[in-house]
A and B are shown apart, each in its own frame.
Chain A
């Protein structure tokens, strides 16, 4: 983000691939989570919740559409948001591991959503100050929606955590299972460092501090226990294309119609 030291030298323009990769990471997180959440449509525990999850999925896919459309423009290779969503293979997806994890029970879905919603809120909040004006505009628009999402997942976490022994046990188990995917959200690589240095993207260390303080507060209010820190696994990350076994299956389902009928209009 724009420097806070009052430097008079504007940051150098970032290399195009840094902007493209940054937009892909942002867009793919929302596309993959949006598709995952859409799998609840028709299966929600109660009608209101079925509708809520479907609404949230729609917002996430809408945010992905804006981000991937911009990514395609920045890339300049003639790929639009549909080409990027439907005609890339698993190793070219740049989403984090957290969002591709299966829905599990309602507790897993809510915990996954809460951990991501807090991340998305602090990320978009920082990105409203991005040196890239179109990205800043998308962030400001999306942030309003994410505040609603966070209220939804956070309220559920409080109710389930501080609910019955059964609901408490389920969300604690979900938190324990998903916690190992959270360090990756803040593991900066060369792309993130270049994005930060050029004012395009946020300081991931600052995001992490903001994220953990919100997460810890809500988890404690929900009478849950924050799991112990886990080290990030060595080697390539999901942001660099190394995904869990779940993404390929999800993409097969998500992409089959577009790939079977390329160029179809309806």
Chain B
């Protein structure tokens, strides 16, 4: 990918296209752009690129890998100066995951997130809409735990096909 002859200042479209190829290390069917964690791309007159990202969960260990992968991918395209910045505002929400990305999540075996709620502070024993099984499409499912194998997923069980599955949880 490195073009040693490169002299032109990169365009924002070009950088966004590179970001389409940087995949989440834990959910490799989603790019960092699909996830909605890239908040801004800036290019100064000298061609230096600044990418602003926001973490999914504050303790997500993948964020350091993601930031490095973004910098590496942009450098590999021959853009010599790249900086990755972090922002916390506005906070990330799963509502930023695009519709086509949701379909890819389901095909990969992870139920896509429902709409993020902004309800009250205390919501105990809450009933929420049934999650659709990504394997057999049944709604006869139950959430076994809101906390799954990564911070962003919950553990579910399908009574239809009697399989465990994960849901990308709404936040």
Contact = CB atoms under 8 A, between A and B. Distances in A.
Interface of A: 48-49, 51-52, 54-56, 58-63, 65-66, 118, 121-122, 125, 133-134, 136-138, 140-142, 144-145, 147-148, 150-152, 154-155, 158, 214, 217-218, 221
A140 B90 CA distance: 8
Contact of B121 (A137, A150, A158): A150
B144 A59 contact: no
Contacts of A214: 121-122
Contacts of A136: 89
**Max chain B Cβ within 10 angstroms of own Cβ: one of A144, A145, A150, A155:** A144
B121 A51 contact: no
Contact of B57 (A118, A145, A151): A145
B88 A51 contact: no
Given A151-B123, A214-B122, A141 B145 contact: no
The prevalent SS among residues of B at the interface is loop
Given A52-B147, A62-B60, A150-B121, 9 more contacts: A55-B151, A138-B88, A140-B89, A141-B91, A145-B57, A148-B146, A151-B146, A214-B121, A218-B122
A121 B151 contact: no
B36 to A, nearest CB: 14
B58 A147 contact: no
The prevalent SS among residues of A at the interface is helix
A121 B122 contact: yes
A108 B97 CA distance: 38
Nearest to A61: B59
9 contacts: A48-B144, A56-B147, A58-B151, A62-B57, A62-B60, A141-B89, A145-B58, A218-B122, A218-B124
A65 to B, nearest CB: 7
Interface in B53-107: 55, 57-61, 87-93
Contacts of B60: 58, 62
Contacts of A137: 87-89, 91
Interface in B102-148: 121-126, 144-148
A118 B58 CA distance: 19
Given A65-B58, A141-B92, A51 B149 contact: yes
B54 to A, nearest CB: 8
B41 interface: no
Given A155-B125, A158-B124, A218-B122, A66 B88 contact: yes
Contacts of B87: 137
Nearest to A148: B146
A192 B93 CA distance: 31
B23 interface: no
Contact of A122 (B92, B93, B121, B144): B121
B148 A51 contact: yes
A114 to B, nearest CB: 10
Given A154-B124, A155-B125, A60 B91 contact: no
Contact of B151 (A59, A122, A134): A59
Given A150-B122, A154-B124, A214-B121, A63 B88 contact: no
B43 interface: no
B171 interface: yes
Given A121-B121, A141-B92, A151 B126 contact: yes
Contact of B58 (A51, A59, A121): A59
A187 B144 CA distance: 39
A63 B58 contact: yes
B59 A51 contact: no
A141 B147 contact: no
Contacts of B57: 58-59, 62, 145
